[in-house]
Copies of this chain bind each other. A is one copy, B any other.
Amino acid sequence: MTETEHANLPAESIRSRTGRELRAVALAQFASVGFAATSLQHIADAAGFSKSSVLYHFASKEAILTEVLTPAIDHLEKILDRFVAEPDSVESRKYFVGDFIDFVLHYRFELHTFINQGQSLVGIEVVDRARALVVRLAASICDEQASVEDRLRFGIALGGAAYTLVAGMTYLDDDLAADDDLRPALVTVLTELLAPVSHTLSRKQP
């Protein structure tokens, strides 16, 4: 954002600025140490506010999670809807993989949160919605007669991508890489992983 652009924008309200900061801090903590291990006090401390201030802006801890995850889940739903609306083809597969990778790169922390903690967060509406989307995603990539290997390929692609962009970063000496470097590599690896699966697909879940 250049100085010129800044001058043309309305000043951000305190409420939306504080809310934005709190959401960012919360998401980072949910993704790194988990929802259960993230306390409101930790979020408050990391953002430089009081716990009461956190609760002024969000009705509850769960409400924070909902606000933090909803944009990602909305987006996933959108690209999945588009994918299943088209007749299955190598082209539509390819297009979807591209969409999915952009999604993963953009919403890596959200993805990591609901993928790796989904089981402990069952019953929370936004997480249940995410889980339903994953089931639908699985069904659109692997049909009911999918082989063990196909299912593994899907699971490894999804879980591996979710893991390696977030948790995996803590195991390597450096940050993983810039998105510009990651994207082509992800395309290569995920395309390769899922390529055999595409040859066995007989139908797509609507």
Contacts and interface: CB of A to CB of B under 8 A. Distances in A.
A167 interface: yes
A164 B159 contact: yes
Contacts of A32: 119-120
A151 B163 contact: no
A34 B144 CA distance: 30
A186 interface: yes
Nearest to A185: B149
A157 to B, nearest CB: 7
Nearest to A150: B185
Copies of this protein, total: 2
Contacts of A148: 176-177, 181-182, 185
Given A148-B181, A185-B147, A167 B119 contact: yes
Residue of A118, A152, A181 ringed by the most chain B CB atoms within 10 A: A152
28 contacts: A33-B120, A34-B36, A34-B37, A34-B120, A36-B37, A116-B116, A118-B167, A119-B170, A131-B171, A148-B185, A151-B168, A151-B176, A152-B176, A153-B189, A154-B164, A155-B160, A155-B164, A155-B165, A155-B171, A156-B157, A156-B163, A158-B160, A159-B163, A159-B168, A160-B160, A160-B161, A160-B163, A163-B163
